[in-house]
Chain A
Amino acid sequence: MRLAPSALLGLLEAGVAWDLVFIFDRAWIGGLAFAFGVNLVLLAVGHVLHWRWARWLGLVLLGTTYVVAHVFVLGVQLLPALAVVALLMGYVEVRILSERFAPLFLASITPAHRGQFGRALLRAWTRLAAALIVAVVVPLFAADLAVAGVVPLTTIPTALLLSAGLVAVVVLIALLPTLDAKASEGREPFPRARNSPKSPP
């Protein structure tokens, strides 16, 4: 479990490095190689010194290197590009799960606890895998529809519709905590007295 994030990251780094090998334009390769090198340094520093911002910045640089290399030089191939984006998200999610779960299994715990933690981990893995599969399949399906001519993709209204949909999702996510807090104001407050040590379990 502790190795999974590193393995995923290694896969991503190798993939991006492999793509850079095929760039022969000196003007691009210099900048992209520099960004890739900085990403490696930042990830290494973040790993050693536990600097969260360095890890984030390194990851952003890795994604940027990939996107710039493919958008401006190599050309975007949809399936590998979607896979890379999904892997990037998967890496962050797996890292979060690893940081939370791995210390639990390292402690000397009872088999019952081990079983409980294992079940929770399995659920988290399953949901993450499902989310990532949907995140790859849906854009592919959309692309298929567009290529088949069902959706006129290159028109301005389609672009506006996509943008509006995206903005709606982002706004919904931004407002959710506020809406949730307002909804919980009307509920019965958390029964503080029952948390006292004298109360039954």
Chain B
Amino acid sequence: MRTPLSSGLAAASVGLLLLGLVLRSWQVVLLALPPTIVLALGSLAPPPRPRLVAMRSLARERVDAGRDVEVELVIRNEGPPLDLLEVADVLPRDLAVVRGTNHALVALESGGTLVLSYVVQSAVKGDFVIGPVRARSLDPLGLGVQDAVLEVRSSLVVAPAMEDLRRVQLLPRRTRPWFGQAPSRQIGVGTEFWGMREYAPGDEVRRINWKASARFDRLFTNEYEGERSGDVVLVVDARRESFVGTPVDNPVEHAVRAALGIADRVLAARNRVGLIVQRQVIDWVPLAFGRKQLYRILDHLLHVQPGGEWPLSHVGFVLSRFFPRDCGVVLITSLLDRDVLEAVIRLAARGHAVTIVAPSALEIERRQRTDSREDRMAYQILAMERANVVRQLRRVATVVDWDPATPLALALRRMTARPSRA
């Protein structure tokens, strides 16, 4: 393929030649020779088509956001010698090279090898594909190029940074009949003392309350509060209007981070967790226990991008069709519209115990703007509106108003919930 430079040189030489002939000036005619000579020299050694084999290896295929990943790309020339070879390993926009280079310009002999080592980092979550490798062979004078694309692709999963909620107690309000860690307000297997009753044949000896037995001169057995598990459905509001701020600092990214932290904590307490994401489509992960469920939820959250303009009340339809009626709902939304109020009232009316975690878009926007008088005034008005919505929501739900600049654990400590009977 010719470059614009070769066309420019050809045009210049023809122009000078014609001018020289018209003016009958041999000096001007001679001026047409230098571009022609450069063109002729360039055409003597046209760039060969690159025949390359490439292999890429990643130090890790799953990594947390903000962590480094080492990438090594090995390219071998299986064709003729390449005088000037430009190679670029194509990276997704969100991956930044922090060390080394993914781009090279070298001379590569036949059978020669080029090793490119570099370190990438992503500040945002995502399921990224690195590649393909683009190669371009140039002639020494840049008059012609030959391109090749090596379809070598590697997958890199960048998980969102997880909130540390180990010191936060997150319990479902309603329990199910299988064992867990949530007090059920019913007598059963557990560790919290509930009461005493007279000994009955078959009671475990270790449960006998010897002090009470000695005092009343007959045997008494301790009873404990049963610890059971419950169902929690996380609802992530990722509608387009929730996107305020930068790709790294916006309510949707913080909602994903919060959802992952809460899911981890609630699953660790042997509860079932499900997920509903409202974005361009409404998709969900059914309730399940265990570590595998956490990875299912993580894989789902990786692909959450702001989009869609559905009203939040559509979540109620999915909840009523695919989840138990009495499951707890943790709604993670930035409360940017009053539609949330209506949706939460409907959920509460159906019997769901609703908890709202609200990453504040207002605080995010405030940090990103200059502190002018008008901005302060606007902030105060919007803060009052938000406080008003929160006050109304607190009549039907527990609301955690969260400034994403602070740890979520701090905001969640205010949320106290006493479990009720199933």
Alpha-carbon gap, A42 to B56, bound state (A): 43
A92 vs chain B, min Cβ distance (A): 6
Could you say which of A127, A166, A177 has the most chain B C-beta atoms within 10 Å of its C-beta?
A166
* A residues less than 8 Å from B141 (CB atoms): 93, 127-128, 131
Give A78 to B5 CA distance when docked, in angstroms.
Answer: 24
B378 at the A/B interface (Cβ < 8 Å)?
no
A85 to B92, CA, bound (A): 42
Asked whether, in the complex, the Cβ of A162 is within 8 Å of the Cβ of B28, the reply is no
Quick one: CB contact mask for B37-65 with A, threshold 8 Å, 1 for yes? 11111110010010101111000000000
Any chain A CB within 8 A of the CB of B185?
no
Inter-chain contact A85/B34, CB cutoff 8 Å: yes
Could you say which residues of chain A place their CB within 8 Å of the CB of B117?
Answer: 110
Known A-B contacts A96-B5, A120-B107; the reply to A128 vs B140 at CB < 8 A is yes
What secondary structure prevails in chain A residues at the interface with B? helix
Q: Does A41 contact B (CB under 8 A)?
A: no
Does B16 lie at the interface of the complex (its beta carbon under 8 Å from any beta carbon of A)?
yes
Q: Is B19 an interface residue (CB 8 A)?
A: yes
- A201-B21 contact given A104-B103, A107-B100, CB 8 Å threshold: no
Q: How far is it, in angstroms, between the C-alpha of A127 and the C-alpha of B105 when the chains are bound? A: 16
**Shortest CB distance B401–A (Å):** 43
Q: Which residue of A lies closest to B18 (CB)?
A: A163
List the A side residues contacting B84 at CB < 8 Å. 120, 123-124
State whether A169 touches B104 (Cβ < 8 A): no
- Among residues 133 to 178 in chain B, which have CB atoms less than 8 Å away from a CB atom of chain A? 140-144, 148, 150-154
- Chain A CB within 8 A of B35 CB: yes
User: Which of A97, A138, A176, A196 is B33 in contact with, Cβ under 8 Å?
Assistant: A138
The stretch of B6-14, B296-304, B335-343 that contacts the partner chain: B6-14
B140 touches A117 (CB 8 A): no
B83 at the binding interface (Cβ < 8 Å): yes
- CB-CB under 8 A from A123, the residues of chain B are 83-84, 107, 140
Q: Is the interface of B mostly helix, strand, loop or mixed?
A: mixed
**Residue pair B154, A100 in contact (C-beta under 8 Å):** no
B263 within 8 A of A: no
Kindly state whether residue B291 has any CB partner on chain A within 8 Å: no
From residue 29 to 77 of chain A, which have CB atoms closer than 8 A to chain B?
56, 63, 67, 71, 76
Interface members, chain A 172-193 (any B CB < 8 Å): 172-174, 176-177, 180, 184, 190-192
Q: Closest residue to A103 on the B side, CB-wise? A: B103
Nearest B residue to A105, CB-CB: B101
* B97 interfacial by beta-carbon distance below 8 Å: yes
The answer to whether A108 touches B30 (Cβ under 8 A) is: no
B46 touching A201, Cβ below 8 Å: no
Q: Does A67 lie within 8 Å of B19, measured CB to CB? A: yes
- Contact check: which of B10, B19, B55, B104 meets A173 at CB < 8 Å? B10
- Give Cα A53 to B163, complex, Å: 51
Cβ A196 vs Cβ B152 within 8 A? yes
Q: Are B39 and A81 in contact (CB under 8 A)?
A: no
Contacts of B16 in A (CB 8 A): 67
Q: Which residues of B contact A200 (CB under 8 A)?
A: 55
Q: Which of B9, B53, B104 contacts A113 (CB 8 A)?
A: B104
Let me know if B144 and A176 touch, CB within 8 A.
yes
Query: When A107-B101, A124-B84, A128-B140 are in contact, do A159 and B29 touch as well, CB less than 8 Å?
Result: yes
B1 at the interface (CB under 8 A from A): yes
* B37–chain A nearest beta-carbon distance, Å: 4
Q: Are B35 and A89 in contact (CB under 8 A)?
A: yes
Note all chain B residues with C-beta closer than 8 A to A15: none
Query: At the interface, yes or no: B26 with Cβ under 8 Å from chain A?
Result: yes
Does any Cβ of B come within 8 Å of A10's Cβ? Answer: no
Residue of A with least CB distance to B54 = A195
Q: Which of A93, A96, A136, A184 meets B34, CB within 8 Å?
A: A136
Which one of A100, A104, A143 contacts B101 once the chains associate, using CB atoms below 8 Å?
Answer: A104
Given known contacts A159-B21, A166-B36, A199 and B29 CB-to-CB distance under 8 angstroms? no
Question: B143 — which chain A residues lie within 8 A by C-beta?
Answer: 173
Q: Flag A106-128 by CB within 8 Å of B: 1 or 0 each.
A: 01111001001101110110011
User: B292: shortest Cβ distance to chain A, in Å?
Assistant: 27
Complex alpha-carbon distance, A81 and B32, angstroms: 11
Task: Flag whether A11 is at the interface (Cβ < 8 A).
Answer: no
For the complex with contacts A128-B141, A166-B32, A192-B151, 5 further pairs of A-B residues with Cβ separation under 8 Å are A76-B27, A78-B27, A120-B107, A143-B27, A162-B17
Q: 11 A-B residue contacts at CB 8 Å? A: A101-B105, A104-B101, A117-B106, A128-B140, A138-B37, A169-B36, A176-B43, A176-B46, A191-B53, A195-B54, A201-B113
